[in-house]
Each structure stands twice: as structure tokens, then as C-alpha cells.
Amino acid sequence: MTYPISRARTVALFCSLAIVLISSGCAVQFVSRYDETTEKSITTIQRDVERLFQEIERSLGTPEARYENYVAVYEQLQIEATMLNTRAQAIDMNSITTEQSEQLIGWLNNLQRLHRTGIPAVDVLAVTRQQARQIFVAMLKFELAKKRQSDTVIVDGR
């Protein structure tokens, strides 16, 4: 006994097959391409943050460590992070890098707030420094993954 295949099933099967064939034959890109300027900006901001940590750590417990002595550094970091965020927003299909740069700006705001109220100990500074490294590692890993993506598929999730 044979069962007739409905028209809807035939169309669904054909569409599924077409999608498989099309997607296997060409690269699909759901995120922006690698951007060298973005990578360099991330690295520059990381270097400047690391320098800030070293200066604060070296002077912690002295009047040199007061927030007022670092206002210009925080302003420059905010400018650099905002420029990175603006660039990320201007690039199509770049929502992950945009979100990461927004997280970086939020983290910088928290660091500035912590410094303004007074960093109580080197331990607190070490935890904050580790948070910074995690943010920068995630940002650089994603940007470098885009650099390697020649024929692979990366899905943005949006």
C-alpha cells in the first residue's frame, strides 16, 4: 500500500534540501568582518588601563593614589572607549562588539567610582584588574576570530 505525499510535505522537503545545498556551497556571514582599527583600539585601551593599574598599585596608600590625580587618565580612557563603541555601532552586523564595548564603558565607570570613593586595598585592585583582563580577552578573542573566519560561519545570535 502506498501513501500519497502531500503537497505541503513535498514543498517542505524541497525547501529543506535547497537550504542544505545552498548553505554547504557558500560561506554565510552573520557578523561583521575583522576590523584592524577595532583590534588596535582594544589593545591601546588595554595598555592604558594596565598602566593605570600599575600607577595606582605603586602609589596605593599615599596621597599620589588619590582619584584627583587621575581624572585626566579616566577622561582619556572614556574618550577611547566611547570612540571604540561608536566605531562598533557604525559597522553593520557588529552587535557583539558593540555590546562588549558598552560593557567596557560600564566597567570603566565602575572603576572610576571605586577610585573616587577610595580603593581600600591591593586585593580589591587585583580583583578589578582581573575583571579588566577578562573583558579585554573576550573582546580580542572575538575580533581575532573574525580575522580567522575566512570560510567559516559565525552566527551573531540576533
Lowest mean pLDDT: which of 16-20, 36-40, 53-57, 143-147? 16-20
Closest to 48 in 3D by CA, of 117, 104, 90? 104
Percent pLDDT > 90 in the chain is 71
DSSP per residue over 78-141, as a string? HHHHHHHHHHHHHSTT-HHHHHHHHHHHHHHHHHHHHHHH----HHHHHHHHHHHHHHHHHHHH
Confirm if 105 and 78 have CB atoms less than 8 A apart: yes
Domain ranges of the chain: 36-148
Output the average pLDDT for the chain.
Answer: 87
Q: Give mean pLDDT, residues 145-155.
A: 68
Per-residue pLDDT tens for 33-47?
A: 999 999 999 999 999
Q: How far is CA 126 from the centre of its chain?
A: 21
Per-residue pLDDT tens for 90-125?
A: 999 999 999 999 999 999 999 999 999 999 889 999
pLDDT of residue 25: 55
pLDDT of residue 97: 97
**Across the chain, how many H-helices and E-strands are there?**
5, 0
Helix%, strand%, coil% for the chain, nearest 5: 75, 0, 25
- Tracing cell 524541497 back to the chain, one arrives at 14
pTM: 0.77
pLDDT of residue 151: 41
pLDDT of residue 2: 54
Q: Give mean pLDDT, residues 50-70.
A: 96
pLDDT of residue 158: 45
Closest to 142 in 3D by CA, of 101, 110, 107, 108? 101
User: Taking 70 as the threshold, does the pLDDT of residue 153 lie above it?
Assistant: no
Q: Give mean pLDDT, residues 139-152.
A: 83
pLDDT of residue 152: 57
C-alpha cell at 63: 596621597
pLDDT of residue 8: 72
- Tracing cell 572610576 back to the chain, one arrives at 112
